[in-house]
């Protein structure tokens, strides 16, 4: 999946917008950089991992997370949105269902909880193929699911972002919440890895 996308068009569009804002005197280049830095500060997959570890250790929190992801992550001091709020839905992996997240239109996902999106997530190859042939795409990531497991693909949008709640690995009952956090990866939160 990696390496098969081209960000050149988007980069040119972003640079053109920045130039127009600067030329019109609406905002200076330093301000644009400050806004972007502020937007990305605190955005990390570690945040999503903390949410997952809490759900694995606190059944009440897990129930709230699955019912209203936005409200539940706010309990931990996180937001799912960026400049404008989005609704967060959390899809739980089970013995019979594996969830995977995509944004077929662009690359929307809960930035604050997962950090900046990986290049492959933004690629047209991933965005189109994971919907049509999710098992093949997951296999390319090394995820082999049993025949009894069905795959659900969740398509993020400007209004709704998705995050996967991975299955808790067997044999981790004695681990503390911080120890559990270290097991969760960004790909696990997207659904392109198992924990």
Pick the catalytic residue from 44, 70, 103, 156: 103
156 is catalytic: no
Instruction: Name the 3-class secondary structure at 189.
Output: helix
Pick the catalytic residue: 44, 80, 108, 123? 108
The residue among 40, 44, 45 whose CA lies nearest residue 166 is 45
**What six digits make up the tokens of 138?**
């997951």
Start-to-end CA span in the chain (Å): 20
Residues 192, 40: Cα–Cα separation, whole Å: 23
Based on the residue annotation, tell me whether 182 is a catalytic residue of this protein: no
Active-site hit among 2, 11, 106, 182: 106
Active site residue 157: no
**Of 168, 138, 140, which is closest to residue 152 (Cα–Cα)?**
138
Residue 86 CA: distances (Å) to CA of 75, 94, 111, 161: 16, 25, 11, 7
Point out the catalytic residue in the list 44, 70, 80, 107: 107
Q: Active-site residue 107, yes or no? A: yes
Enumerate the active-site residues. 103, 106-108
């Amino acid at each position: 999946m990696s390496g098969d996308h081209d960000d050149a068009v988007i980069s040119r569009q972003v640079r053109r917008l920045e130039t127009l804002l600067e030329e019109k005197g609406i905002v200076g280049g330093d301000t644009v950089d400050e806004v972007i830095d502020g937007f990305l500060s605190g955005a990390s997959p570690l945040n999503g991992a903390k949410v997952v570890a809490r759900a694995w250790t606190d059944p009440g929190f897990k129930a709230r997370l699955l019912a209203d992801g936005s409200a539940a992550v706010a309990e931990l001091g996180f937001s799912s949105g960026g400049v404008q709020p989005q609704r967060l839905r959390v899809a739980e992996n089970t013995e019979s269902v594996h969830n995977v997240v995509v944004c077929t239109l662009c690359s929307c996902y809960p930035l604050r909880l997962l950090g900046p999106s990986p290049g492959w997530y933004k690629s047209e190859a991933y965005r189109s193929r994971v919907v049509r042939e999710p098992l093949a795409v997951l296999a390319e990531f090394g995820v082999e699911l049993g025949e009894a497991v069905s795959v659900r693909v969740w398509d993020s949008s400007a209004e709704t972002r998705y995050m996967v709640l991975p299955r808790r690995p067997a044999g981790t009952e004695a681990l503390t919440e911080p120890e559990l956090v270290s097991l969760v990866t960004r790909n696990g939160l997207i659904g392109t890895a198992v924990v």
